[in-house]
Copies of this chain bind each other. A is one copy, B any other.
Amino acid sequence: MEYFLTAARLQHMTMASKELNITQPALSHSISKLEHELGVPLFERSGRNIQLNRYGMMFVKWVEQALDNIRNGMQEIEEWSHPDTGVVSISYLNILGVDLVPTLVRDYQIRYPQVRFELKQGNNGDINNHLEQGRSDMLITSKETTTDHHEWLVIEQIPLYIVVSSRHRLADRPSLKLDDLSGEPFVELKNNCGLRNSILSRVQNSSFTLDSAYDAEDLATVAGFIKAGLGVSVLPKTPGLMLEGLVWIPVLEEGWFWEVGLTWRKDRYMSPAAKRFVEYVGHSSSARIAETLS
């Protein structure tokens, strides 16, 4: 195709072959092969020069279009796979859309304003499907769901608090141990939201037996239930959950925080734009952790 267009443009085999960096017989052969495939000649050979004929002129315009299409396709891929102009496709847990993800995206776009983000949210099951089906490059979720096929990079450790209604009998305590909640109706999460497993595993290590009163769909609903005085729970202290009428009481035991981070599949191709985003998150989160320690 490329050969044909060049020969057609220059109407000169030898010059065209030079432009294409091939020998003249190579071009002659391939043009002749094309002509045989089409069943018609594309050039008039009169003496020692060639000239596009009727069929050649017709065919040129189609071939030009075809090659333009291929070039467009390559350019689109190039654009989308370039770190500056490419796309970072992320799925994240619903609750993280309130504060963490928008902050992260905004900060990143100050550095790389041309990068496009493709953001999807959902519960743990949803977003894991996104990742498996390749509809997202990476997830922002809690660590619990990762396997050894996945890479994990922590973004933030959000402290967990015991949350009660302001009218609750424990509402004025400065701090609590988990055991103090024994007998209290506990508002749990329905679907395995990462956080749920995170809390359940901690509970199993303690002597305290959990009295599950309600299963809510998501964290915001849990907060709502507590506010309505229907029970108590353990929640990460994050915007979107800090409703009026809730009291956040620190947990006395060590290590009560919810680890949120980036996860992606080791075996999957990741676009340069996505790679750079991962790198950025790595730097910024380690900077943030260093800051927290000092």
Contacts and interface: CB of A to CB of B under 8 A. Distances in A.
Interface residues of A, number: 36
A213 to B, nearest CB: 40
Interface string A52-73: 0111001101110111011011
Given A39-B81, A132-B46, A269-B53, A76 B63 contact: no
Nearest to A72: B62
A250 interface: no
Query: How many chain copies?
Result: 2
Contacts of A72: 62
Chain A contact surface mostly: helix
Contacts of A46: 132, 134
Contact of A66 (B70, B77, B271): B70
A81 to B, nearest CB: 5
Interface of A: 38-41, 44, 46, 51, 53-55, 58-59, 61-63, 65-67, 69-70, 72-74, 76-78, 80-81, 87, 89, 132-134, 268-269, 271
Given A40-B77, A40-B271, A66-B66, 5 more contacts: A51-B134, A58-B76, A62-B70, A65-B69, A66-B67
